[in-house]
Amino acid sequence: MISLMNKIPFCRSICLILAFIINTSCTFLRDTGSERASFWDVFMKSTPEWLTPYQADIVQGNYISESMILRLKKGQTKKEVLTILGTPLVVDPFNPDRWDYVFDIKKNSGVKENRIFFVEFVNEELSRWEGDPVENSLEMMILPK
């Protein structure tokens, strides 16, 4: 009967042989000449398009909905606007009376959306706002189910 002490060196040698084979097969010469291609490149070209690695959705910036915009009124203070819309993504140091809210989303399916919304103040009071709110269809894509 083979003891446990005899199995350990055997397992180590099998693992070393497998590691050597895998490591040496990771690169090889292409048919076109001496240009080297990695095993991963060849593998990715030979797999079907539907078999791709998972890519997480990338959501960045300030989410501004239509309901938030409806709560804005001329004459509101900066503090009230901060309460409604949140901290702006961009505050221009040369124009502190304009706040820009930028929202970007990149879905793993390739859908890219970009929304820009800004507010302007005169004498520390809200004077005008303009931009693109996040639409309901996009909102359904962003929020978890």
More confident of the two residues 98 and 59: 98
Per DSSP, helices labelled H in 2-144 are 4-24, 39-46, 66-70, 78-85, 136-142
Considering the domain architecture, whether residues 70 and 135 belong to the same structural domain is answered as: yes
- Answer yes or no: is 36 within a domain: yes
The domain that holds 110 is classified in CATH as 3.30.1450
Highest mean pLDDT among 45-54, 87-96, 123-132: 123-132
Considering the domain architecture, whether residues 38 and 63 belong to the same structural domain is answered as: no
Considering the domain architecture, whether residues 103 and 41 belong to the same structural domain is answered as: no
Q: What is the mean predicted confidence (pLDDT) over 115-128?
A: 93
Considering the domain architecture, whether residues 136 and 102 belong to the same structural domain is answered as: yes
User: Quick one: pLDDT at residue 92?
Assistant: 86
**Tokens read off for 79:** 């503090």
Domain range holding 88?
Answer: 58-142
Which residues, listed in sequence order, are joined to residue 60 by a DSSP beta bridge? 104
- Answer yes or no: is 51 within a domain: no
The average confidence (pLDDT) of the chain is 79
Segment among 20-24, 66-70, 136-140 with least mean pLDDT: 136-140
User: Quick one: pLDDT at residue 129?
Assistant: 94
